[in-house]
Amino acid sequence: MTKFSDLNLDPKVLKAIEDAGYETPTPIQEGAIPPALQGRDVLGIAQTGTGKTASFTLPMITLLAKGRARARMPRSLVLCPTRELAAQVAENFDTYTKYMKLTKALLIGGVSFKEQEQLIDRGVDVLIATPGRLLDHFERGKLLLTGVQIMVVDEADRMLDMGFIPDIERIFSLTPFTRQTLFFSATMAPEIERITNTFLSAPERIEVARQATTSENIKQGVVMFKGSRRDREGTEKRNLLRALIDAEGEKCKNAIIFCNRKTDVDIVAKSLKKYGYDAAPIHGDLDQSQRMRTLDGFRDGSLRFLVASDVAARGLDIPDVSHVFNFDVPGHAEDYVHRIGRTGRAGKKGTTLMICTPRDEKAFDAIERLVQQEIPRIDNPLGDKPAAKADDDEKGKDEGKPRSARSRSKKPDRDQPEAKAEKPAEKEQQAQPAPQKPERKDDKPKSDRSRGGRGRDDKVVGMGDHLPSFIALSFDERRTG
């Protein structure tokens, strides 16, 4: 069995690895580290949770052990799709460089430009960044990429999904042609393959698992759910989610709950908190400091449920997640692989459950085709109860509405007290004008009779007493003319 000591890594790096408690490399690490140490380009394809981060950080640290960085000219560059993943990579560098004097800078959004510029001005060996913030610094004239010796693109398929490919191509053009490139992805879309063919030179391809496979350590399941009514579907789905969590019982130590939209992330998190579940949201619209506090709370166990969007949770290394709940079926089949890869990491067991509505069935079929297996169907733990429970929720919502708004959707209750039943009649009586007494022709004021001598009879045959006076005058005029 291969050990880290067999991979020609720097002795100080090996000591840091030993302190971290690792002895044996994962397949992707075993395949990627030797060619990376030889200075070759590497194309790594592996499912999430297999240790891709260490497969490029360890050889980078060894190669950068000799040399010194210059101001505004980093020696290496690591590109990540999200702030959280970039921060995670930075933590890995801190772990493995504890016995070495290498400097790093983290360029992500939500942090002051000034603080980042101060780090760049001193000179850094490793620059870890998201594409947008990196280009912001470059356009400000605060950064030069002509000194980059090693360039890493992590989670390349997620870069594609987020629309970063034009930025990646531009960044490649700003770095030296002689750089070494390490390119890692969980899946290989045609666009990703085009980029690797363009910017990588005779790469060593390491594929440790079939593309877009799911770990055997993960128990999967899906509930085929149909709401009683379209306007109640969201409420009933949230009821079902809570039932699934309760059904898992103590086995569900913690969980990440994925939603497709940021608005649903907030709604689901708020709903769970309302019903006593310890939950917090994380998505791209939240302040960076708040996102980091939420992640830290989830990592240290003070937060049980993390409700997340794909962007926020992609690539996060949280080693002990027992469950993943897909509140929504992901629109891209590859995202399913990444979502459930948050559990069952490092050889541990994990469980993932998904809620699929009729309009999600097309996306669900695409997932089963991608992973090349049938996801087991499980029974709805609520049976026929979701609709009834949704009625209670809707009733609670109606309590805050004006009386007139509720009366449109509900028929009057025959069992209400008589006093309440009489109110609509009273209201209708007030709305109608009081019947006028018939006036005698002689009693009419002279000012009205002076308009051509018109008057009106006491009654109009065939009409009610509520007949407007102008109609009566017209009849009267014809008869007397």
CA angle 297, 303, 304 (to 5 degrees): 140
- Give the separation between CA 318 and CA 85, rounded to whole angstroms: 11
Instruction: Give the pLDDT of residue 243.
Output: 96
The pLDDT tens digits along the chain (481 residues) read: 689 999 999 999 999 999 988 889 989 999 999 999 999 999 998 876 678 899 999 999 999 998 888 889 999 999 998 888 898 899 999 999 999 989 999 999 888 899 899 999 999 999 999 999 999 999 999 999 999 999 999 988 888 878 899 999 999 999 999 999 999 987 788 888 999 999 999 999 998 865 556 667 889 999 999 998 889 999 999 999 999 999 999 999 999 999 999 999 999 999 999 999 999 999 878 887 888 899 889 989 999 999 998 776 666 677 789 999 999 999 888 788 878 888 887 677 899 999 999 999 999 999 999 888 899 999 999 876 544 444 344 444 444 444 444 444 444 444 444 444 444 444 444 445 555 544 544 444 444 444 444 455 554 455 555 656 666 565 555 555 4
Q: Each residue of 313-324: pLDDT tens digit? A: 666 677 789 999
Residue 206, C-beta contacts closer than 8 angstroms, at least 6 positions apart: 28, 31, 32, 35, 42, 43, 44, 45, 46
Going along the chain from its start, the domains and CATH numbers come out as 4-207 (3.40.50.300), 218-398 (3.40.50.300), 441-480 (no CATH)
Measuring CA to CA, how many Å separate 310 from each of 31, 186, 396, 453? 28, 15, 32, 85
Instruction: Give the pLDDT of residue 465.
Output: 57
Rounded (to 5) percent helix, strand, coil in the chain:
45, 15, 40
Which tokens in the block code for residue 163? 């629309």
Which tokens in the block code for residue 168? 């990646």
Tell me the torsion sign for CA atoms 465, 467, 470, 476: negative
Neighbours of 324 (CB within 10 A): 26
Is the separation of the CB atoms in 293 and 325 below 8 Å?
no
